[in-house]
């Protein structure tokens, strides 16, 4: 009986160049998978000699696309919504000082990804992670604790100005100071729950920060 097609053709029947290409591709894929699994294992595993020596390399690989967050399975999962809001103090071209209203950056991020079928990890978490870094590196009086505190302040200032500087100065002038606050509201319990919680928002208002040339986006530094 005549056979049509060669779907069952064994690898050994392929030409030497074809076998070389397939072998190289398979080896490359295996190496990539092995590296990925090793990086993820070292990231989630308890601290050890290798993870301490290669901590920077592991972090560069994992963040932000492969970050592991286990809060969903924590004994006490997050029960609050935290919104980051900003306003600016502007010096207009005629020398007057104007203070903008509050802008909810978290709400803007939410609207931007609402109808996006494939939002990136950075789009979803850049602002949230910046605020978490600030909160974990500052005390209750909003004073920085260690070098990470000062770094988090600079990062938030740059993040705010990158998003808002062009909008605030559209009619001219410059941004002299910015102020950031968080608004925390409790997640409403489900209808079947008897738990009673307050729906009143709680604000954490930071002091005004002076804007420097290092905080401004590259295009604004040379204006």
- pLDDT tens string 175-190: 999 999 999 999 888 7
- Which of 44, 62, 80 corresponds to the end of one domain? 62
Of 3-7, 52-56, 153-157, 176-180, the one with minimum mean pLDDT is 3-7
Q: Across-strand partners of 81?
A: 185
Q: Are residue 128 and residue 217 in the same domain, yes or no?
A: yes
In this predicted structure, the answer to whether residue 5 has a pLDDT above a threshold of 60 is no
What confidence score (pLDDT) does residue 222 get?
A: 45
Q: How far apart are CA 134 and CA 204, in angstroms?
A: 12
> 33-57 pLDDT, tens per residue?
999 998 888 887 887 788 888 888 8
What confidence score (pLDDT) does residue 70 get?
A: 61
Report field, pTM of the whole predicted structure over 0.75: no
Q: Are residue 56 and residue 139 in the same domain, yes or no?
A: no
Is residue 67 in some structural domain?
A: no
In this predicted structure, the answer to whether residue 88 has a pLDDT above a threshold of 90 is yes
Q: Are residue 172 and residue 133 in the same domain, yes or no?
A: yes
């Amino acid at each position: 009986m005549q056979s049509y097609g060669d779907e069952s053709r064994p690898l050994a029947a392929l030409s030497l160049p074809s076998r070389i290409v397939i072998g190289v591709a398979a080896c490359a894929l295996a190496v990539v998978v092995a590296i990925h699994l090793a990086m993820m294992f070292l990231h989630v595993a308890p601290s050890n000699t290798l993870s301490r020596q290669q901590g920077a390399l592991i972090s560069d690989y994992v963040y932000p696309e492969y970050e592991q967050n286990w809060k969903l399975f924590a004994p006490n999962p997050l029960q609050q919504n935290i919104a980051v809001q900003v306003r600016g103090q502007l010096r207009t071209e005629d020398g007057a000082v104007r203070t903008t209203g509050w802008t909810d950056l978290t709400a803007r991020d939410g609207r931007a990804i609402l109808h996006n079928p494939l939002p990136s990890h950075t789009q979803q978490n850049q602002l949230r992670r910046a605020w978490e870094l600030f909160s974990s590196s500052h005390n209750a009086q909003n004073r920085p604790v260690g070098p990470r505190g000062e770094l988090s302040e600079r990062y938030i200032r740059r993040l705010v100005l990158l998003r808002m500087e062009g909008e605030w100065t559209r009619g001219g002038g410059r941004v002299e100071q910015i102020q950031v606050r968080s608004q925390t509201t409790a997640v409403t319990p489900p209808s079947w729950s008897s738990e009673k919680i307050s729906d009143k928002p709680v604000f954490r208002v930071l002091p005004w920060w002076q804007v420097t040339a290092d905080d401004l986006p590259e295009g604004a530094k040379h204006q």
